[in-house]
Amino acid sequence: MATTDQQHGDAAAAAGREAMAHYDACGLCPRQCGVNRNAGERGVCGETSDCRVAAITAHFGEEPPISGRNGSGTIFFSGCSSGCFFCQNYQISQEHLGRTLSHDELYNEVQALIARGVHNLNFVTPEHWWPHISVLCRRLRAEGVFLPFVWNSSGYFLTEWLDQQCALIDIFLPDYKFADAALAHACMGDSRYPDLALAGICRLAERVGFLRPWDDSGDICASRGLMVRHLVLPGQVENSLRVLDNLAREIGPQLPISLMSQFRPVPECGRRGFLDRMVAIDEYRQVCQHLDDLGFTKVFIQPEFGDDNFLPDFSADRPFKGNPPPTGPAAP
């Protein structure tokens, strides 16, 4: 007769095989490529089923309730299904920098990150790696790890997958990039993005509620809920105003929002001659004023236009200069 440990191990292995089978005809994102990533085919995300990670680090550049004092335990995955040409992380989303990790290797590196005292595990660009992430999360929970899991997303998602993800993920940080369908098509080739993103955000608001506890000092970290991020783009104020209008109408001004000004033109912006400058201060102020006029109160803004120390270089040993180097376990 099998022991209890053997039964648990067999159940975990079966769950892992079931999860990985989703790569056979991949439909993890709205692109619905249907390619067999398990056979080495690459979808729009540019990745096979071999999990590739660009960085695993204690990150201090997130909003205070996420970074806290010891940092957010971020796992930056390679590839991306949305494919915005202006991506600030283009080295990993488009150039596919990263290294391949097995399930056990990913688990071991995450355990080392947890030992540093991070406040959460933060999965960055996760949609196309959901099978690997679900296996990791279930294993950690089964072993008594109860740090919050954070879904750090482009907002380009399908609501049918969100229902699965809500069963394991505690905190959702989706972008809501575009309310303008033409702008979405120009930037990432899918005019459906505004409807898909808003529908997903509304579903998350219903399922997990708003980010809580709310403490903008960083002394108390969030444990559950939703916060929406929006990056203001140069020359696209009307898009930002419509984003905020939609959120106020569909969800309400109690929704926590992070309004970012940190856009920097990447090389592809120059090649296209589009979005090839920084956001003007008057543009950002106009969007901030609209946010205030709509009555949003749980808000993070970037009046200093971001910190250059947190602009990533994923070819370096330390992608974010603003993060302190690892020195062993952090203080609790």
Residue 9: predicted pLDDT: 54
pLDDT given at position 217: 93
Q: Which of 83, 278, 96 is nearest to 184 (CA)?
A: 83
Segments of the chain with pLDDT less than 70: 1-12, 14, 327-332
Fold (topology level) of 12-310: TIM Barrel (3.20.20)
Q: How far apart are CA 265 and CA 279, in angstroms?
A: 10
Beta carbons of 60 and 114 less than 8 angstroms apart: no
Q: pLDDT per residue over 238-280, tens digit each?
A: 999 999 999 999 999 999 999 999 999 999 999 999 999 999 9
Handedness of CA 295, 296, 300, 305 (dihedral sign): negative
List the chain domain ranges. 12-310
- Whether the link from the prior residue into 174 is cis, omega within 30° of 0, is no
Helix axes 130-142, 103-114, angle to 10 degrees: 60
Per-residue pLDDT at 330: 44
Per DSSP, the three-state class of 89 is coil
Q: Look at residue 308 in the predicted model and tell me its pLDDT.
A: 84
SS3 319: coil
Looking at residue 318, its pLDDT comes to 87
Strand partners, 153: 174
Question: What's the pLDDT score for residue 8?
Answer: 52
Q: Mind listing the pLDDT tens digit for each residue in 73-108? A: 999 999 999 999 999 999 999 999 999 999 999 999
Other Cβ atoms less than 10 A from the Cβ of 295: the count is 10
pTM of the predicted protein model? 0.93
